[in-house]
């Protein structure tokens, strides 16, 4: 009975970083993070194909109708709507899954007494806000016909810089919360850190360079449908990643926790 009482707490404490976060565990979590990202990408692609095909096709029709020169299609429309979209979403999902898994390895046990699933959910929420939501509010996704080739490079650079800035602000908010936690309590520290992040992000959105490239006569409804489908895909991607990776990470950490705590065989002669 005594051994049974000792085993139960160990099963419920998969957060011992010193015992858990060795190179083997990090490798297992990285692989499972990429797998979770790919599976999440499949779900996001399904949503994008269902709700994003109509505005994408309308944008391509507008581009073909208003194009000054009849250029030969390098990539067919069906390829853009299916294989092109799927490839982009799956590659992005695998990349974000790997990066988020590494962030999970660092954050587990360092941002509060959260279990693997809760930590994965917090990482996914932070990634959704910093990697997608803040940059999206300043430079939202546009259909192909809206993007001006002359401003494409400028818009891409500005978008990447906004992503980097947003991620740095998110990291700074976490550090502020950890610094204030012992002094003000975790709840107050979290609220103040969140307010600081929102204020800094609002300043970045207000003073960041704007890019206006809406062509004349382009239906505004198509633009908003496309942007809503892009936002929906990102929401599904990050939410699914939180659920899938949280489950996989918990399984890995529980398995790693059980191994060192097996009862040793008695030595001969005892």
DSSP the chain: -HHHHHHHHHHT-TT-HHHH-SHHHHHHHHHHHHHHHHHHHHHHHHHHHHHHHHHHHHHHHHHHHH-SS-PPPSS-HHHIIIIIHHHHHHHHHHHHHHHHHHHHHHHTTTSSS--HHHHHHHHHHHHIIIIIIHHHHHS----TTTS-TTTHHHHHHHHHHHHHHHHHHHHHHHHHHHHHHHHH-HHHHHHHHHHHHHHHHHHHHHHSPP---PPTT--HHHHHHHHHHHHHHHHHHHHHHHHHHHHHHHHHHHHHHHGGGSPPPPPTT-
Given a cut of 50, whether residue 261 has pLDDT beyond it is no
Residue extents of the structural domains in the chain: 18-66+73-146+216-262, 150-213
pLDDT value at 83 more than 80: no
**pLDDT tens sequence across 110-122:** 877 788 899 999 9
pLDDT exceeds cutoff 70 at 19: no
From residue 1, alpha-carbon distances to 5, 166, 205 in Å are: 6, 52, 60
Q: How confident is residue 226, by pLDDT bands cut at 50, 70 and 90? A: confident
pLDDT in tens, 47-56: 988 887 777 7
pTM of the predicted model as reported, rounded to 2 decimal places: 0.79
Over range 251-264, report the average pLDDT: 65
**How far lies 97's CA from each of 116, 131, 162, in Å?**
15, 13, 20
Q: What's the chain's average pLDDT? A: 80
């Amino acid at each position: 009975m005594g051994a049974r009482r000792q085993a139960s707490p160990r099963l419920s404490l998969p957060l011992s970083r010193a015992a858990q976060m060795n190179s083997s565990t990090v490798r297992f979590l990285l692989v499972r993070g990429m797998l979770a990202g790919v599976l999440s990408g499949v779900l996001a692609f399904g949503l994008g194909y269902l709700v994003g095909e109509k505005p994408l096709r309308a944008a391509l029709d507008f581009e073909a109708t208003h194009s000054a020169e009849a250029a030969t299609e390098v990539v067919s429309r069906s390829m853009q709507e299916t294989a092109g979209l799927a490839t982009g979403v799956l590659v992005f999902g695998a990349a974000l899954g790997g990066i988020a898994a590494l962030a999970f390895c660092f954050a587990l046990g360092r941002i509060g007494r959260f279990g693997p699933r809760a930590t994965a959910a917090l990482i996914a929420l932070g990634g959704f806000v910093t990697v997608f939501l803040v940059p999206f509010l300043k430079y939202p996704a546009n259909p192909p016909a809206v993007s001006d080739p002359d401003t494409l490079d400028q818009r891409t650079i500005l978008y990447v810089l906004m992503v980097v800035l947003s991620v740095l602000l998110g990291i700074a908010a976490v550090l502020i919360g950890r610094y204030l936690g012992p002094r003000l309590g975790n709840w107050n520290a979290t609220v103040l850190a969140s307010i600081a992040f929102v204020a800094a992000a609002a300043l970045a959105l207000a003073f960041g360079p704007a890019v206006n490239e809406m062509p004349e006569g382009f239906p505004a409804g198509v633009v908003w449908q496309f942007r809503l489908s892009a936002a929906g895909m990102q929401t599904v991607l990050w939410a699914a990643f939180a659920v899938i990776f949280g489950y996989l990470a918990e399984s890995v950490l529980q398995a790693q926790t059980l191994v060192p705590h097996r009862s040793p065989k008695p030595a001969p002669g005892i």
